[in-house]
Amino acid sequence: MEGKTKVTKEVLCEEARFILANVMAESKYGRQNSYDDIRRVCEGAVSIPFTEYVAFLEDSGYLKHDRKKESLEVTELGEDVVNGGSLTELTVQAVAHFKNARASRGGGSSASSSASASKGPPRRPPMGESSRDDRFDSNRSYGEVLDSRYEKLASIGSGGVGTVYRARQVPLNRQVALKEIRELFSFFAEEQRPEIVRRFTDVVRAHADLAHPNILPIHDVNLEKEFPYVVSELCPNGSVRRLITDAEMIPVGLALKYLLQTLHALQAAHRERVNHRGLKPENMLIDAYGNVKVSDFGFSRIVERDQSVIRQVYVGMGTVAYMAPELFIDPSSAGPQADIYALGIIFYELLTRKLPGRRSPMPSEIEPKLPAGLDDIFDLMTRDSRAERYSNVDDILDDFNKIDNLSEVMDQQQQVLAAENPLDDIKFKDGAKPHEKPLDGEGVESSAPSPSSSSSAASGTAGSARRPYSYQQRNKKN
């Protein structure tokens, strides 16, 4: 698509998901999904007229538009897309739809040029970018040195918040991970920037105060640049998402080890009153020794709706599948229990490569080696009701230590920290390695957007895309 305001297929996909996510969020907040309310929230943040997006989403089966009530409702297919599934299909359908729409108008301009024709000059690109899709520009040059200290070497991941690079810390001549916060700002109006920067500063400083072997350490930050960046330890083995997606087999003992390591990381953070609120496999990184290091504590707070400065839902930040129910109702009230819920879902996904549903089998039914006591722990981690869910990590660890026969499935000497990399013995599909793109001047090519941003070298989704519900298996308990 060509025109004064170029709109790539990646932008079409991301903006369609943005609209669907806002409709879903309104429903979770118990509102009526008024067409006008959704339009007011979304139309200033998309490149093509809101009405055209609604027409596409309705025609393609992702959205229902009740014209009598003037309300919108996301279909099951639309929920799948919001949660990161079927993005290729969405992208293909969006490109075909808007190309046909352009052809039917008899114009040679891009899909987005219709917005320019009806609304006058193109919107001013936020924060000095040359165009809205600047991050997808294939002619853009990379490999620059930031602040005479950090040289970008390769792109290892990108998402809704920014792009993560493998970089060289010039003074120390060591490799680090550098996350440049660029994409995030393109989705918010310029008047919202000060609030975004203030929140970003708060959460980065809170994360930097955390010190634990299973929490990713932050080495440096520049909060004054137009596009701030954060420098942290480089984890060369990617993320738990890579393990779920590409490993031919995940040993039960390793799944348990990563559960314990993440529990200890959350325990340390919660004692400092720092909650993650966005835990997912993508920000559970794996270091050179095969240990998990949790990243991005509190990052979801940066784009949290407050109905005053930030009204819209930012689809690039969260992954619905791992979000506790309270995060949909009142995110500001969510505490440690939201992290516990997310970790329970991730643990199940590590064991099965699927997200749990109400009728899913319990862990010990899937893997007979697992002690039955783990079923109770999983169940109490993922209850919908906070009154029934574990209230803190200490209680989980206490129950974990009461389970008999754990030594049969995991190395008691290395329950928390691994001395030798356990991934060395795991075969990955087609010899898959952590994803990395060289910075050769051709820019960072973008595929269908990831539902989240992380410091990992892997992205993608696995299993069912709908938000799982806690496994309420009351009748099987003694």
Task: Quick: pLDDT tens for 349-362.
Answer: 999 888 888 788 99
Tokens of 425: 């013995």
As a whole number of angstroms, the distance between CA 418 and CA 53 comes to: 49
pLDDT for residue 311: 46
Arithmetic mean of pLDDT, 380-390: 94
Q: What is the mean pLDDT of the chain?
A: 76
Of the listed ranges 10-19, 202-211, 293-302, 371-380, the least confidently predicted one is 10-19
Longest CA pairwise span in the chain (Å): 72
pLDDT, average across residues 21-41: 73
Residue 412 has pLDDT above 80, yes or no: no
Closest CA to 275 of 215, 220, 196, 234: 215
Q: Which residues contact 443 (CB under 8 A, 6 or more apart)?
A: 136, 137, 138, 139, 140, 141, 142
Residues listed for the chain: 478
Q: For residue 446, is pLDDT > 60?
A: no
Question: What span, in angstroms and rounded, lies between the C-alpha atoms of 257 and 394?
Answer: 17
C-alpha span between 267 and 276 (Å, rounded): 11
Q: Lowest-pLDDT range, 40-49, 305-314, 373-382, 447-456?
A: 447-456
Residue type at 410 in one-letter notation: M
Q: Is the pLDDT of residue 1 over 50?
A: no
Q: In sequence order, which residues have a C-beta less than 8 Å from that of residue 236 and are 6 or more positions away?
A: 287, 288, 434, 457
> Structural domain boundaries of the chain?
9-123, 240-425
pLDDT: is 120 or 228 the higher one?
Answer: 228
Question: Does the pLDDT of residue 341 top 80, yes or no?
Answer: yes
Share of the chain above pLDDT 70, in %: 72
Query: According to the CATH classification, is domain 240-425 in 1.10.510.10?
Result: yes
Q: Give dist(CA 151, CA 449) in Å, integer.
A: 25
Q: Mean of the pLDDT values across residues 35-59?
A: 83
Average pLDDT on 396-424 reads 75
Range list of H helices, 29-179: 35-42, 50-59, 76-82, 87-105, 113-119
Whole-number Å distance between alpha carbons of 471 and 468: 9
pLDDT for position 32: 61
- pLDDT, tens digit (0-9, with 9 covering 90-100), for 202-259: 999 999 999 999 999 999 999 888 889 999 999 999 999 999 988 988 988 899 999 9
Output the pLDDT for position 451.
36
Model confidence at 142: pLDDT above 60: no
270 pLDDT more than 60: yes
Least confident range of 270-284, 323-337, 420-434? 420-434
Note the pLDDT of residue 184: 74
Helix or strand run (H / E) with residue 123: none
Lowest mean pLDDT among 72-76, 111-115, 422-426: 111-115
Tell which wins on pLDDT, 434 or 163: 163
Helix (H) or strand (E) holding 13: helix 9-28
Highest mean pLDDT among 78-87, 101-110, 198-207: 198-207
